[in-house]
Structure 1
Amino acid sequence: MASGGVARGRLTEERKTWRKTHPHGFVAKPATLPDGSVNLMIWKCVVPGKEGTDWEGGYFPVTLHFTENYPSNPPTCKFPRKFLHVNVYDSGDVCLSILGDAWKPSITMRQILIGIQDLLDNPNPASPAQDLAYDLFTKNMLEYRKRVRQQAKRYPSLV
């Protein structure tokens, strides 16, 4: 079987599993092409901010881009451009260990999205991706938290 077949087969299985059991508040759907067909290689997702954190109330859009080498290689995960977070580049790309050096083919989409949710309130300042967020986080935590709460309000629930 070609590697693209492996990627699509795995994503088809993950889609079935996700539909049956997914974490409350999360969304993960393959992108729909103009002709109405499904593109399993691009997923439109929503990660809710955890209750009791400055991220609470926000439902943050994340796009997962899979390659034909999945699950040997991780997907790239992107928030919108200029998303304020220590470990998110200005481009929106997420810097998370399970998407890099710690990647294992057994990691599922569910684990990726929960990992991203956990990263929101537990950034890794040892691996900064964005100067503004890093500077605020390390030098002015009150302002960082204020901006995070403002950002959460920009991404309300769609339901």
Structure 2
Amino acid sequence: MSGGIARGRLSEERKAWRKNHPHGFVAKPETGDDGALNLMIWRCTIPGKVGTDWEGGSYPVTIYFSEEYPTRAPKCMFPKGFFHPNVYDTGDVCLSIIGSDWRPAISVKQILEGIQELLDDPNLASAAQHQAYNLFYKDRASYNRRIKKQAEKYPAPPI
């Protein structure tokens, strides 16, 4: 029964997203080889904020929902090896709203906006990737160059 609740909520989330979502963001359920939508896995992109070193990038995030959603937070992942203090080497995102501060009322839109905010404003008290943390903390100029290079790896689509 809980799977029905998860899929029902995700269907509503999809409708709300299609009606109103932030400019430059993409979030859609995965489509199988047979053309069927899988509401439990969403392929997303998050634009880098204008005026930051992340600007110009369109960063891929996959959201994995469990049958316990919305009671249990989804798992959000960047590609493996994504460079950021709050992203594990596996790509798992370390963000309070999908962790200890999870509430069932949090929407996909809020999750993606929270991740976008985290990109330029990492939580150094909850570092997940030591290389990125150390570079951010000890050599900010090198960190910023690395972020700009990463933005080139994930270019925003032409408008």
TM range (shorter): over 0.9
- Matching of residues 71-82 of structure 1 within 5 Å: 71-82=70-81
- Matching of residues 34-73 of structure 1 within 5 Å: 34-73=33-72
Tell me, yes or no, if structure 1 residue 128 matches structure 2 residue 127. Answer: yes
How high is the sequence identity, in percent, across the aligned residues?
61
Indicate the residue corresponding to 1:107 in structure 2.
Answer: 106
Indicate the residue corresponding to 2:157 in structure 1.
Answer: 158
Secondary structure in 1 aligned to 2:27? strand
**Cα distance, 1:158 vs structure 2:** 2.8
Q: Within 2, Cα distance between the matches of 1:157 and 1:31? A: 20
Q: How many aligned positions are there?
A: 158
Tell me, yes or no, if structure 1 residue 12 matches structure 2 residue 11. Answer: yes
TM-score (ref. length: structure 1): 0.98
Specify every segment of 5 or more residues in structure 2 that has no aligned partner in the other structure, as ranges. Answer: none
Q: Within 1, Cα distance between the matches of 2:153 and 2:75? A: 23
Indicate the residue corresponding to 2:146 in structure 1.
Answer: 147
Q: Within 2, Cα distance between the matches of 1:137 and 1:80? A: 20
Indicate the residue corresponding to 2:88 in structure 1.
Answer: 89
Q: RMSD value over aligned CA atoms? A: 0.6
Q: Within 2, Cα distance between the matches of 1:74 and 1:34? A: 27
Q: Any runs of at least 4 consecutive aligned residues in structure 1 with deviations exceeding 6 A, and if so which?
A: none
Secondary structure in 2 aligned to 1:153? helix
Secondary structure in 2 aligned to 1:113? helix
Deviation per CA, 1:104-133, whole angstroms, max 9, x where unpaired?
Answer: 000000000000000000001110000110
Secondary structure in 2 aligned to 1:111? helix
TM-score (ref. length: structure 2): 0.98
Deviation per CA, 1:40-99, whole angstroms, max 9, x where unpaired?
Answer: 000000000000000000000000000000000010000001100000000000000001
Q: Which amino acid aligns with 1:145?
A: N
Q: Which amino acid aligns with 1:20?
A: K
**Cα distance, 1:157 vs structure 2:** 1.8
